[in-house]
Structure 1
Amino acid sequence: MWKPDRQSKQPLFQQIADDLERRISYGEFPPGSLLPSERKLAEQLGVNRSTVIMAFAELRSLGIIESQIGSGTRVSKYKWGVTPKHTPNWHRYAEGGSFLPNVPFLRRIREALGQRPSLIDFASGELAANLSPIDEITTLMNENQYTAYLGYDNPQGYVPLRQTLVSYLRQYRGIQTTESSILITSGSQQSLYLITQCLLSPGDAVAIEDPSYCYSLPMFQSAGLQLFRLPVDCKGIRPDDIRSLYKKHRIKMVFINPNFQNPTGTVLDSERRIQLLNVASELGLPIVEDDPFSLTAYDGTPPLPLKSMDPIGSILYIGSFSKIAASGLRIGWMIAPHSVVERLADARQQMDFGLSVFPQQVAGQFLKSPFFDPHLERLRMQLLFKRDVLIEALQRELPGLVEFTVPQGGLHLWCKLVPEIHDGKLLEEAIRRGVVFVPGSVYGSDSGFVRFTFARPDTEEIVSGISKFAEALRSIIN
């Protein structure tokens, strides 16, 4: 974000006025649009409010902005001359459409991280740079000659990558499949989007875990789906709850994350897995299995996916490169019946004509390289170490004020606060003190739960971040 230059001879208020005038002329703030408040703009720019007041006064004197008591400051609709110009009402367009924006807490977290990159980040669900195989991938890129073909690729995804995934899924996940049953996507989220848009219809009822990462995705509501919850306990969901929901609401599909579930870290009990598959078979009910975290199992023995136990093809299986290697490559995959793969590949081709071939080549090379297993082992050890640092910090800083079950894999620690705290107040106070997390209500829980993601911050940041969080929590309790 632009900041005024304090070393410049030009006054700060004039720099701010010039920057705002430039942004207005570029259309970032169209005529009639509301500008940030004086207080908020002062916080963003790190200046006194009086400096922003002077900048606004300068722009008002030029007829560029107008201020009204109680209505804020807006860009003048007539700033380009005396003849009115009819500008599209972009604010109304931005509020329209059927695709809903992210939930407010997630937008607030993104805004805070954008304004203050120094915030200790327990919110972002991705690996830190030093957990990604950057050196290994760089070596592979230097050693291998990648295709020079720059045309559109196969709509299902790069064929050699799908062939590599057949071997990978058999060896690491116990899944038998063929390349024609695999669709390459730009990550798990695109897989979920294609399913909700193409295999379901507005008004359909679906079941999701409670709490669940799916609850944080507005794509379900954007698709007009009815969401019904499956409570998660220490053994995962209870399959009988699915049967009850089917009888009451005729649910059309079930979305689950059975291995190191996001956000709770729970692993679905082996007996319940068998029951779940029996219920799905009995009702002819599709299950969408999202499996991003299994290979992070700290003991090196990842729980097998439901798909490996699926004899009749009830399960649509979603995997991703993001949580085990590099989110920036944007590589995910889905295993589904070929008719479903064709349908979703056709829809995805309408969206983007397919993925870039280069990251697909890189991902395929890495999966079959001698670097992959050592990387997984190192990743598990580092995640386990970070988890333990986080737990020790919580026990030291918040004895008796936080409860949790220790996860055996994944990137998250799910915590219940004692006593219950208002999510919004705690988040704002934590941001003020320099740390950010995801409130549990984002995932459908009541207030008083917190998800800490420990893969992004380094060890020192984890210790400091929990100290800051403890200060925020105590300030609200007191």
Structure 2
Amino acid sequence: MNWKPDASMKEPIFRQIAKHFESLIIEGKLAPGEPLPAERKFAEELGVNRSTVVSAYAELRATGLVQSVQGSGTRVSERMWGVSARKVPNWRQYTLEASFRPTLPLISKLRSASTDPTKINLARGELSEDLLPRREVQELLHRMNIDDSLGYSHPQGSLRLRETLCDHLRKANGIYTDPEHILITSGSQQALHLITQCLLAPGDAIGLEGPSYAYSLPLFSSAGLRLFRIPVDDDGLDPISVKELYQKHMIKMVFVNPTYQNPTGTTLSLSRRKQLLEICEELRIPIVEDGAYSEIRLDKSEAPSNALVTLHGNSDLVIYVGSLSKTAAPGLRIGWVIAPSAVIRRMADAKEQMDFGMNTVVQELANLYLRTGWRDHLQRLTRELTKRRNSMLMSLQSNAEELCVWNKPLGGYHIWCRLKHIISDAELLDACIQNGVIVTLGIVYGLSMDSYV
């Protein structure tokens, strides 16, 4: 190592050492699990007392960037959410840089490999080209009347589309609402972004399922939020953990994908849904419910438990987020939020400041699609996805039974595999890429090597 601390600086040597390693971790040059130099040897290399290095490593441990295990030395932390902020006053910078940057090199490599057409891409969680409703959309474009579709949209989105959504959500999900409680967004990711920007503040703690796709979204980090994991098993998240997180960290919001969860494919049981609602009502914690996959039922399975937003008499407790990205086409960029009027007004105001409202032509296209072609397309889609799921399960059974275990999802897009043997995320990704297959790693969903079978 060529780096040396600068004795002429006013900043203490131990703090220079801590900042040096912090930079290496943030930039991904030291990956999760990688060891730091042994204290005594490193002190000799730098020409400082061992106590100076000990103090530097202690500072890094206090921020959660490293962890020390007797007999194994000091290593970069495998899991980086919910780390202490005692040493860093700027929460926005802290959560953006310290919590998630170490996974970025892997994500960057994954995305780069995804552009290679010779690779089998199982990582994107996106419909293949042949499953998109091209013909239906082309016909609707010819039928559209755009006489009043080229001006700025209403801040909450097209009234026609919001009225159509009320009818659609009632029939498809049993959700009863009205246009005044709906905001049209550019996909569900913008909906989540608006929630974080309008309802939360830097430094706020939130609860997320672990694993959860939400850990891969930079919008939570850029909002300066502290992320805490809610354990997930075959019946979904553990509601009791929500109360424990509140008592320990004062979480201010719970984000949950209760039906055909991404990435595990699990569905939160009815009893746990009710328990979660009771706990959050008692603690006055709002719930953000992501219903992206709730309509994609495979094997003609029965409808899952009712949406959280329909199970609770207090409609102000749950914010519901949905979109057409999973059941139609992600390129339409149509999502929506159902929330109390005050929340909708606040988010609509922020959205208007961002982009002056949604694309009016696309909103009208979505309105016609939901009224005329959505249900037939969904039926074709679920039939085809059922075949592809079954084919993937057969392939796993034939080729990977000794390596991992997996679930059989009843809906959604995802099969969650858990390895029987420990392997680093970098090694696993490299091995997959070399063999022509791209998968999303557990670390992207907020897990580390303690999550093996």
Instruction: Calculate the TM-score normalised by the size of structure 2.
Output: 0.75
Q: Give the CA deviation at 1:247.
A: 1.3
Cα distance in 2 for residues equivalent to 1:235 and 1:396: 27
Kindly state the Cα deviation for residue 109 of structure 1 after the two structures are TM-superposed.
1.6
Pick from 325, 344, 348: which aligns with 1:345? 348
Cα separation, partners in 2 of 1:442 and 1:281, compared to 1, 3 Å: same
The aligned counterpart of 1:321 is 324
TM-score scaled to structure 1, two decimals?
A: 0.71
The number of residues matched between the two structures is: 353
Q: Describe how 1:32-431 pairs up with structure 2 within 5 A.
A: 103-114=104-115, 116-147=116-147, 149-298=149-298, 299-303=300-304, 304-313=306-315, 314-369=317-372, 371-431=373-433
Specify the SS of the correspondent of 2:288.
Answer: strand
- Contact 1:191–1:333 (CA<8 Å) still a contact in 2? yes
Aligned equivalents of 1:330 and 1:128: distance in 2? 17
* 3-state SS of paired residue (1:224): coil
Residues 120 and 412 of structure 1, relative CA distance in 2, 3 Å threshold:
same
Question: Shift in Å at residue 300 of structure 1?
Answer: 4.9
Alignment RMSD, CA only?
1.9
1:329 maps to a residue whose letter is: L
State the Cα distance separating 1:237 from its structure 2 match. 1.1
Q: Secondary structure at the match of 1:194?
A: helix
CA contact (8 A) 1:257 1:290 kept: yes
* 1:202-241, Cα deviation, whole Å (9 max, x unpaired): 1111100011111111221211111111000111112111
Q: Is the 8 A contact 1:422 1:448 kept in 2?
A: no
* Deviation, structure 1 residue 149: 4.3
How big is the shift at 1:98?
9.2
Distance 1:300 1:160 in 2: 32
**Secondary structure at the counterpart of residue 207 of structure 2:** strand
- Who is 2:23 aligned against? none
Amino acid at match of 1:362: L
User: Which of structure 1's runs of 4+ aligned residues deviate more than 4 A?
Assistant: 96-102
> Contact conserved, 2:328 with 2:374, CA < 8 A, in 1?
no
Contact kept in structure 1, 2:95 and 2:225, CA below 8 Å: no
Identity within the alignment, %: 45
Partners of 2:451 and 2:385 in 1: CA distance: 22
Per-residue CA shift, 1:271-304, capped at 9, x if unaligned?
Answer: 1111111111111110000110011111253322
Alignment check: 8 A CA contact 2:95 2:221 kept: no
What's the offset of the Cα at 1:388?
Answer: 0.7
Q: What are the superposed Cα offsets for residues 232-287 of structure 1, whole Å, 9 maximum, x if unpaired?
A: 01111121111111111111000000000111000001111111111111111100
1:196 Cα deviation after fit: 0.9
Instruction: Verify the 8 A CA contact 1:175 1:308 in the aligned structure 2.
Output: yes
The letter for the 2-side match of 1:202 is P
CA distance change for structure 1 residues 362 and 97 in 2, over 3 Å: closer, same or farther? Answer: farther
Partner SS for 1:240? helix
Query: Is the 2:95–2:226 contact (alpha carbons within 8 Å) kept by the matching residues of 1?
Result: no
**CA distance 1:449–1:406, shift in 2 (3 Å):** farther
Ranges in structure 2 where 5+ consecutive residues have no aligned partner: 1-92
SS at match of 2:322: strand
Give structure 1 stretches of 5+ with no counterpart.
1-95, 451-478
Which residue does 2:46 correspond to in 1?
Answer: none
1:98–1:209 Cα change, 3 Å: closer
Q: Quote the Cα distance in structure 1 between the aligned partners of 2:187 and 2:106.
A: 23
Task: Report the secondary structure of 2:285's partner residue.
Answer: coil
**Would you say the 8 A contact 1:405–1:414 is kept in 2?**
yes
Deviation at 1:449, TM superposition (A): 7.1
Sort the Cα spacing of 1:110 and 1:448 in 2 relative to 1 into closer, same or farther, 3 A. Answer: farther
- Given that 1:99 and 1:219 are in contact with CA atoms closer than 8 Å, whether structure 2 keeps it comes out as no
Aligned residue for 2:430, secondary structure, equals helix
Q: Which amino acid aligns with 1:112?
A: A
Partner Cα distance (1:305, 1:128) in 2: 27
Aligned CA distance change for structure 1 residues 200 and 323 (closer, same or farther; 3 Å): same
| Shift in Å, 1:105 | 2.4
Please give the alpha-carbon distance, in whole angstroms, between the structure 2 residues aligned to 1:253 and 1:117.
40
